[in-house]
């Protein structure tokens, strides 16, 4: 087991290097970098303060351009900047933002509460509703209940989250009909002065619409996966044998089928749980004015804030690779019959 884990950890290194190298190379050819953006801002500021006749001649001289390149580290060759970046990342130093005057770590930490709120609620609600629903659909396969619930979850899956979010805002967020829920933020402005019970109510009041828009589209995949897994197990020979021995249907379902059928879901738990923290919907965050990691990544790409782009990419890739390893180890934990040699194939 330990040799397999060490081998997987060593394989993470070239994967990380490949992702970072490809992104770094692409950045070199993307126009409108931080130096160009700052030149544009300086030029606009100079033109706004210059007399009308001199505005056409206002610009950034060579000395100012050299200072800007030194400020953002572009006075060094690309290869040297690449090596320096790898050295920083090796010590988990993600650098500092060009425009926000904060370290990348502090930015990520400051955005985590929003992403955690959206992700965890989406994760728990999805599994708490979809797993029992999938089991009920498998037991009642082909019934009216099965057909009706399949239609409902597939309609929810077909509607994009941001479209549902817009509809919810129009209906319940003061758009055209009712104003039952707030439009932005996770809490009210006076949240600090509220009592504990009032804080909980206020938080749930704010999170209702974004979580509804985020979670509805997630039901279909987990529900259908659960249903199909249970149907596959129910049709196997050991289930027929258990029934032939006179075991009750409830005992067959929960003692024999349940453990084997949940194997695909349990193995996917680590990836789904960790992903809940870092894969908040950009469109949901933007639509409901929630300042999370998704919005941070998008704004960093638009503004060419390269330390934030590369730092978050490095961190998320590392977490994704570690989560994949944990998922593979879960196979063995859930079903000891699986060997690590099989996982490598």
* Residue 336 lies inside a defined structural domain of this protein: yes
How high is the pLDDT of residue 106? 92
Domain carrying residue 63: 32-77
Statement: residue 343 has pLDDT above 60: no
Can you tell me which residue has the tokens 């100012």? 64
Q: Name the residue with higher pLDDT: 277 or 53.
A: 277
Residues 108, 70 share a domain: no
Tell me what the mean pLDDT of segment 124-153 comes to. Answer: 89
Query: Under DSSP, is residue 160 helix (H, G, I), strand (E, B) or coil?
Result: coil
* Residue 5 lies inside a defined structural domain of this protein: no
Dist CA 162 CA 149 (whole Å): 23
Statement: residue 289 has pLDDT above 90: no
Mean pLDDT of the chain: 79
* Residue 52 lies inside a defined structural domain of this protein: yes
Q: Which residues of 250-283 are buried (b: 16+ CB within 10 A; e: fewer)?
A: eebbeebbeebbbbebebbbbebbbbbbbbbbbb
Residues 329, 206 share a domain: yes
Residues 274, 323 share a domain: yes
Residues 51, 146 share a domain: no
Summarised one tens digit per residue, pLDDT across range 145-163 is 999 999 998 888 888 888 8
Share of the chain above pLDDT 70, in %: 83
Summarised one tens digit per residue, pLDDT across range 201-249 is 888 888 888 888 888 878 888 888 888 888 888 888 888 888 788 777 7
Point out the domain boundary residue: 40, 60, 77.
77
Residues 211, 66 share a domain: no
CATH of the domain at 189: 1.10.3720.10
Statement: residue 116 has pLDDT above 50: yes
Summarised one tens digit per residue, pLDDT across range 53-96 is 434 444 556 776 777 777 777 778 888 888 888 898 888 888 88
């Amino acid at each position: 087991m330990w040799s397999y884990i060490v081998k997987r950890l060593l394989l993470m290194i070239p994967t990380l290097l490949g992702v970072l190298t490809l992104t770094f190379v692409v950045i070199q050819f993307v126009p409108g970098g931080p130096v160009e953006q700052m030149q544009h801002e300086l030029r606009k500021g100079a033109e706004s303060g210059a007399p009308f006749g001199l505005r056409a001649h206002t610009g950034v001289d060579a000395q100012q351009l050299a200072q800007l390149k030194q400020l953002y580290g572009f006075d060094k060759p690309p290869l040297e900047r690449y090596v320096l970046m790898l050295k920083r990342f090796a010590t988990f130093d993600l650098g500092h933002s060009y425009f926000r005057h904060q370290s990348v770590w502090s930015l990520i930490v400051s955005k985590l509460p929003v992403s955690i709120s959206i992700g965890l609620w989406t994760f728990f609600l999805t599994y708490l509703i979809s797993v029992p629903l999938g089991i009920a659909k498998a037991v009642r396969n082909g019934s009216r209940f099965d057909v009706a619930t399949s239609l409902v979850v597939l309609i929810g899956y077909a509607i994009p989250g941001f479209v549902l979010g817009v509809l919810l805002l129009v209906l319940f967020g003061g758009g055209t009909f009712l104003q039952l829920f707030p439009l932005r933020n996770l809490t009210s402005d006076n949240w600090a002065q509220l009592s504990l019970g009032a804080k909980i109510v206020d938080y749930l009041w704010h999170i209702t619409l974004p979580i509804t828009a985020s979670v509805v589209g997630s039901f279909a995949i987990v529900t259908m996966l659960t249903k199909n897994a249970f149907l596959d197990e129910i049709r196997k020979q050991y289930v027929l044998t258990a029934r032939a021995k006179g075991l009750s249907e409830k005992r067959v379902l929960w003692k024999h089928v349940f453990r084997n059928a949940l194997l695909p879901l349990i193995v996917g738990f680590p990836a789904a749980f960790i992903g809940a923290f870092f894969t908040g919907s950009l469109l949901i965050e933007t639509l409901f004015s929630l300042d999370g990691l998704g919005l941070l990544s998008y704004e960093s790409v638009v503004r060419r804030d390269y330390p934030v782009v590369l730092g978050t990419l490095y961190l998320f890739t590392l977490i994704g690779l570690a989560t994949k390893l944990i998922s593979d180890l879960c196979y063995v934990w859930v079903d000891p019959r699986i060997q690590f040699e099989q996982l490598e194939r």
